[in-house]
C-alpha cells in the first residue's frame, strides 16, 4: 500500500501576530529553524519511503507554497487550492479524491499532517507512523495521541481504550478541559493530547464520511470533479464547494466510526499555537530567554524576544513576549498571549491592513514592498529578479502607474508589448491585465502607484 502524505496548509495563525499574517501565515514562516514550518513538515518525511505529497492550501498562498516546495526541489503529487476553508474533514476528502484519481486500484494510505506543527524527535515520529501504518493497513482510522507533559488546557484530549495491535481503540474524545480536569487526565495516565494528525485509507475514509456526513461527502466529490487543473495547481470549484458544511474530521468521522484507533506519540510535539508555546519550544539562554534577531536584554528573564527589522532592547522584563516587525510591535505578558487574536480582530474592525500582510512580500519572481497606503492609494517598490516574470494580473478598482528606477522591463499590457528603460514610465487603466518581465542580468526595480480612477 502506497503511503501518501497529505499536508494541510490552511489557517491564518492569528495568535502569532504580528509575525503571522493572513497572506503569510505561520506555516509559511521560519519560526524554529532556517526552514518554514511547511518545509520542516516535508523534510521530516525523509526516511519513510513516502510518495510525493498532496498539499491542501488557500488559493491566496499558492505562490508562496510553490516557491517553498521549489526551494526543497520537491514536486508534489498535487496542490489543491481551496477557495475558502471548510475545516479538516472536507480538506482530507478532497485530498483523498486527488490521490484516488491517480491510483484507481488498491487502497492508498494517507498520512495527514498539519503544516504548522513542531516535532523535535523525528525517529520517534517515524516509529509512531510505522505503528499507525500497520493499523491503517488492517482497516483502522488512526490518529496520533501526544503523551501529555503537563495538564494543558489548550488542547483536546483522547482517552485510550482496549489495545488494538500496537495501537489502542478510542474510548472517547474530550473537548479542551479546565485546569482541574486536565490535571485529572494527566494523573489518570490513559489520556493523550489530540494532535490533529492521522493515518487512514483513502477509500475507507471517504466511505465513513459518506456514512456519517453524506452531504459533505457529496459536495466534496462534486467540487473535486469540477476542479480546474493546470500544470501547478488543482483549483477546487468555488460554486460547488461553497455548499460544503464545515467540520473537523474528529466531529465528522472519528467520534462516530467504530474503526478509530489512537497511536501514542512522544516526540517533542507542539502545535506552536501561541508565543508562549514558541518560547517553550525554543532554546533558552541562561536567563530563560529565547531570542531571535538583533536583541539586547538587561535584567530580563523567561521572555521571548524577537527582532525582525531593527534592534530590540529590554530592561527589567519578566515572563514577557516582545515581537518586532517592520510595521508593528507586540508587547504582552506570556500568560496573556492567547488574547493576541483579540488584537487581530481589532485591526480588522478598524479597517487596518497590519493583520493581512507584511510591508514586504517575497515571491518566486522577486519581492514587493508597500511604501505607503491609504485612501485607496498604494505605493509599492517592486523588485524582479533576472529572468523573473510577474504573472498576468489586473487591479479592477485602481489605475496603475509604473516608473522604472533600475534595470529594464518587458511589459505586456493588454495586447501591447513594450520595453521600459530606467526613468521611463507607463500608466494603465483599472482592470487592464498586465505582465511584467525582467529580461536583463540585473535586478529590475519599479515604483508602482495604484490609485482609484476618478
pLDDT, tens only, 219-244: 999 999 999 998 889 999 999 999 99
- 144 forms beta bridges with 263
Nearest to 212, CA basis, from 247, 262, 170, 171: 247
- Residue 120 sits in a domain whose CATH number is 3.90.550.10
Confidence of residue 13 (pLDDT cuts 50, 70, 90): confident
Give me the pLDDT at residue 363, please: 81
Contact assessment for residue 306 and residue 312, using Cβ atoms and an 8 Å cutoff: yes
Q: Are residues 308 and 422 in the same domain?
A: no
Q: Are residues 199 and 315 in the same domain?
A: no
320 within a domain of the structure (yes/no)? yes
Give me the pLDDT at residue 119, please: 97
> What residues contact residue 454 under an 8 Å CB cut-off, 6+ apart?
none
- 142 forms beta bridges with 199, 261
Q: Where are the beta strands (DSSP E) in 124-218?
A: 141-146, 157-164, 167-174, 191-201
Domain C-terminal end among 340, 370, 397: 340
pLDDT tens-digit readout, 76-104:
999 999 999 999 999 999 999 999 998 77
Q: Are residues 313 and 400 in the same domain?
A: no
Q: Are residues 445 and 383 in the same domain?
A: yes
pLDDT tens-digit readout, 126-179:
999 999 999 999 999 999 999 999 999 989 999 999 999 999 999 999 999 999
100 within a domain of the structure (yes/no)? yes
Query: Which helix (H) or strand (E) is 313 found in, with range?
Result: strand 312-315
pLDDT tens-digit readout, 303-354:
999 999 999 999 999 999 999 999 999 999 999 999 999 999 999 999 988 9
Q: Are residues 286 and 373 in the same domain?
A: no
Domain C-terminal end among 235, 270, 305: 270
Q: Are residues 281 and 364 in the same domain?
A: no
Question: Residue 266's Cα: distance from chain center in Å?
Answer: 23
125 within a domain of the structure (yes/no)? yes
Q: What is the dihedral of CA 281, 285, 288, 291, to 10 degrees?
A: -60
181 within a domain of the structure (yes/no)? yes
Give me the pLDDT at residue 373, please: 81
102 within a domain of the structure (yes/no)? yes
Structural domains of the chain, count: 3
Contact assessment for residue 39 and residue 88, using Cβ atoms and an 8 Å cutoff: no
pLDDT tens-digit readout, 183-201:
999 999 999 999 999 999 9
Confidence of residue 454 (pLDDT cuts 50, 70, 90): low
383 within a domain of the structure (yes/no)? yes
- Which whole-number Å values give the CA distances from 450 to 63, 375, 379, 391, 409, in the listed order? 22, 11, 6, 17, 18
pLDDT tens-digit readout, 354-413:
999 898 888 879 999 988 888 878 899 999 999 999 988 888 888 999 999 999 999 998
Q: Are residues 42 and 87 in the same domain?
A: yes
Domain C-terminal end among 218, 236, 270: 270
Q: Are residues 261 and 287 in the same domain?
A: no
Q: Are residues 219 and 293 in the same domain?
A: no
Q: Are residues 98 and 211 in the same domain?
A: yes
Q: Are residues 262 and 280 in the same domain?
A: no
- Residue 421 sits in a domain whose CATH number is 2.60.120.10
Percentage of residues in the chain having pLDDT higher than 70:
100
Q: Is the CA virtual torsion 57, 76, 1, 235 positive or negative?
A: positive
Q: Are residues 282 and 263 in the same domain?
A: no
In which domain, by residue range, is 398 found?
360-451
pTM, rounded to two decimals? 0.88
Alpha carbon distance 214, 220 (integer Å) = 10
Nearest 5°: the CA angle 139, 134, 106 is 55
355 within a domain of the structure (yes/no)? no
345 within a domain of the structure (yes/no)? no
Give me the pLDDT at residue 105, please: 81
Phi, psi of 305 (to 5 degrees): -125, 120
Amino acid at each position: 500500500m502506497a503511503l501518501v502524505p497529505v499536508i494541510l496548509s490552511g489557517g491564518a495563525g492569528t495568535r502569532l501576530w504580528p509575525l503571522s499574517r493572513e497572506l503569510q501565515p505561520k506555516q509559511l514562516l521560519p519560526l524554529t529553524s532556517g526552514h518554514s514550518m511547511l518545509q520542516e513538515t516535508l523534510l521530516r518525511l525523509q526516511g519513510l519511503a513516502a510518495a510525493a505529497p498532496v498539499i491542501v492550501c488557500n488559493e491566496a498562498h499558492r505562490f508562496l507554497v510553490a516557491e517553498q516546495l521549489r526551494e526543497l526541489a520537491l514536486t508534489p503529487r498535487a496542490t489543491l487550492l481551496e477557495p475558502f476553508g471548510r475545516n479538516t474533514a472536507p480538506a482530507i476528502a478532497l485530498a483523498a479524491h486527488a490521490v484516488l484519481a491517480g491510483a484507481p486500484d488498491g487502497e492508498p494510505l494517507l498520512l495527514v499532517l498539519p503544516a504548522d506543527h513542531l516535532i523535535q524527535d523525528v525517529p520517534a515520529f517515524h516509529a509512531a507512523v510505522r505503528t499507525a501504518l500497520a493499523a491503517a493497513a488492517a482497516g483502522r482510522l488512526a490518529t496520533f495521541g501526544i503523551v501529555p507533559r503537563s495538564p494543558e488546557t489548550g488542547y483536546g484530549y483522547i482517552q485510550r481504550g482496549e489495545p488494538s495491535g500496537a495501537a489502542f481503540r478510542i474510548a472517547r474524545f474530550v473537548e479542551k478541559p479546565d485546569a482541574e480536569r486536565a490535571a485529572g487526565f494527566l494523573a489518570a495516565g490513559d489520556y493523550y493530547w489530540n494532535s490533529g494528525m492521522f493515518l487512514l485509507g483513502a477509500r475507507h475514509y471517504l466511505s465513513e464520511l459518506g456514512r456519517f456526513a453524506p452531504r459533505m461527502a457529496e459536495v466534496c466529490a462534486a467540487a473535486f470533479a469540477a476542479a480546474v487543473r493546470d500544470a501547478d495547481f488543482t483549483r477546487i470549484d468555488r460554486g460547488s464547494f461553497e455548499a460544503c458544511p464545515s467540520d473537523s474530521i474528529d466531529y465528522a468521522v472519528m467520534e462516530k466510526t467504530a474503526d478509530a484507533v489512537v497511536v501514542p506519540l512522544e516526540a517533542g510535539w507542539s502545535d506552536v499555537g501561541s508565543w508562549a508555546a514558541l518560547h517553550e519550544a525554543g532554546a533558552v539562554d541562561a536567563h530563560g530567554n529565547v531570542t531571535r534577531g538583533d536583541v539586547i536584554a538587561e535584567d530580563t528573564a523567561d521572555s521571548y524576544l524577537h527582532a525582525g527589522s531593527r534592534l530590540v532592547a529590554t530592561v527589567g522584563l519578566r515572563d514577557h513576549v516582545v515581537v518586532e516587525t517592520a510595521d508593528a510591535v507586540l508587547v504582552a505578558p506570556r500568560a496573556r498571549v492567547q488574547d493576541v487574536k483579540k488584537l487581530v480582530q481589532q485591526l480588522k474592525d478598524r479597517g487596518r491592513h497590519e493583520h493581512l500582510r507584511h510591508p514586504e512580500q517575497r515571491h518566486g519572481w522577486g519581492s514587493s514592498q508597500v511604501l505607503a497606503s491609504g485612501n485607496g492609494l498604494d505605493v509599492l517598490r517592486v523588485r524582479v529578479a533576472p529572468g523573473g516574470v510577474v504573472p498576468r494580473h489586473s487591479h479592477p478598482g485602481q489605475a496603475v502607474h509604473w516608473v522604472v528606477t533600475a534595470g529594464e522591463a518587458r511589459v505586456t499590457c493588454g495586447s501591447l508589448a513594450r520595453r521600459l528603460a530606467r526613468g521611463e514610465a507607463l500608466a494603465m487603466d483599472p482592470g487592464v491585465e498586465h505582465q511584467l518581465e525582467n529580461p536583463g542580468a540585473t535586478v529590475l526595480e519599479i515604483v508602482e502607484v495604484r490609485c482609484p480612477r476618478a
